[in-house]
Chains A and B, each alone.
Chain A
């Protein structure tokens, strides 16, 4: 009974914040199948890590942390990605999918530019665009606030270069 309640509470929270899963999957997976796989892994990992959520931080902050961890540390999919990159001769290609975002002009370009950043920088800019404070970003990523600030200056500069 308690487990069912806990599961329902968890599913409710994830359902409310599922945009986080979609955004991360779009940034870190390369096609529809990979995105679906990654979504499943993220939700599954969130459930496995749910007991470690003590409510010290906001649920969304915790969710970003676990979801980004899963996306970055998923070695199986990485192998596929590494192969794609070696074939493509350059990393960070704009994913071919989804086409809908490319139809949205500036947004498509922004997504494309973010996709060309190194993986850690992608995570940092994602949190910045989601209007996380430097402190929250440093908590999720595990680097100092000053480091977040320095890296963000560099990332934003790079993004603006890519967008012009």
Chain B
């Protein structure tokens, strides 16, 4: 069979097959109403939520800057915090723009896949760390605002404070990572498969899925148990 034969079979067969398959103009018009992809929605939603937290933190830090204007030590803390927070916000804007461009751009297949992978492998991973830091900033800004005692703020136990901050930070990051881990990993594996023109990864993840479900279940049971113990202790206190 020659190459021309392949093309001939393809042409004639398609002519026959597509004879009865036509979309009406009204049908095409109805198709233009966008359907929201759950994945993109949750990704964008997550970015927007943390951007809102960053904005709130920036406003609170602004109040703090006024409240602690005569406290040089806190000014040294709050000013860099404000700068970092606004940089995070800028990164959020960049990320939303980048995702919009990936979804609306006119890229070739390989570039589109690489760009999508870049979002999930690099930017979104960075964003999860940024999200955790942003919430920590928000909490700190709120605390300093509430505890403002005529321009002074005191941390009584610095080591304990640092440990708690670190734990809160890790907790926020961990919650994000766990809740989005499977969905993001699935997308990453699929895109990597496309990139490698192979499907081994997708098969592998299907097998890993069951194992992960067991781990999640055990974790949920432990956390529920700890929560109930905590509640009982609190009630009896």
With A43-B28, A43-B32, A82-B202 already in contact, the answer to whether A72 and B1 are too (CB < 8 A) is: no
**Size of the chain B interface, CB-CB below 8 angstroms:** 51
Q: Give chain A nearest CB distance to B201 CB in angstroms.
A: 10
- The one of A15, A83, A120, A141 in contact with B28, judged by C-beta atoms closer than 8 angstroms, is A15
Q: Is the CB of B31 within 8 A of A69?
A: no
Q: Is B179 an interface residue (CB 8 A)?
A: no
Q: Is the CB of A44 within 8 A of B7?
A: no
- The one of A19, A48, A110 in contact with B13, judged by C-beta atoms closer than 8 angstroms, is A110
With A48-B34, A106-B9 already in contact, the answer to whether A18 and B110 are too (CB < 8 A) is: no
Tell me, in angstroms, the Cα distance from A123 to B194 when the chains sit together: 12
With A101-B13, A129-B10 already in contact, the answer to whether A52 and B104 are too (CB < 8 A) is: yes
With A19-B14, A52-B105, A119-B197 already in contact, the answer to whether A73 and B29 are too (CB < 8 A) is: no
Q: Is A78 an interface residue (CB 8 A)?
A: yes
Q: Give chain A nearest CB distance to B69 CB in angstroms.
A: 48
Among listed B17-25, B80-88, B124-132, interface-contacting one: B17-25
A-B contacts, CB under 8 A, total: 141
With A15-B25, A75-B39 already in contact, the answer to whether A104 and B112 are too (CB < 8 A) is: no
With A52-B104, A140-B108, A160-B1 already in contact, the answer to whether A107 and B17 are too (CB < 8 A) is: yes
Q: Which residues of chain B have C-beta atoms less than 8 A from A119's C-beta?
A: 194, 197
The DSSP consensus for interface residues of chain A is: helix
**Size of the chain A interface, CB-CB below 8 angstroms:** 63
Question: Would you give the 0/1 interface string for B104-139, flagging 1 where the beta carbon is closer than 8 Å to chain A?
Answer: 111111111100100000000000000000000000
Nearest 4 A-B pairs (CB), nearest first? A107-B13, A142-B108, A142-B110, A52-B106
With A106-B9, A121-B197 already in contact, the answer to whether A44 and B109 are too (CB < 8 A) is: no
Q: Is the CB of B199 within 8 A of A141?
A: no
Q: Is A41 an interface residue (CB 8 A)?
A: yes
Q: Which residues of chain A have C-beta atoms less than 8 A from B16's C-beta?
A: 100, 104, 107
Q: Is the CB of B25 within 8 A of A11?
A: yes
Residue contacts A-B, CB under 8 angstroms, 25 given:
A15-B28, A21-B23, A22-B18, A41-B35, A43-B32, A48-B34, A49-B104, A69-B112, A73-B112, A75-B186, A75-B190, A79-B186, A86-B206, A91-B199, A100-B17, A101-B13, A106-B13, A111-B13, A120-B109, A120-B197, A139-B108, A142-B108, A142-B110, A142-B111, A156-B3
Tell me, in angstroms, the Cα distance from A93 to B185 when the chains sit together: 25
Q: Is A39 an interface residue (CB 8 A)?
A: yes
Question: Would you give the 0/1 interface string for A108-142, flagging 1 where the beta carbon is closer than 8 Å to chain B?
Answer: 10110000001111010000010100000001111
Tell me, in angstroms, the Cα distance from A131 to B3 when the chains sit together: 11
Question: Would you give the 0/1 interface string for A89-104, flagging 1 where the beta carbon is closer than 8 Å to chain B?
Answer: 0010000001011001
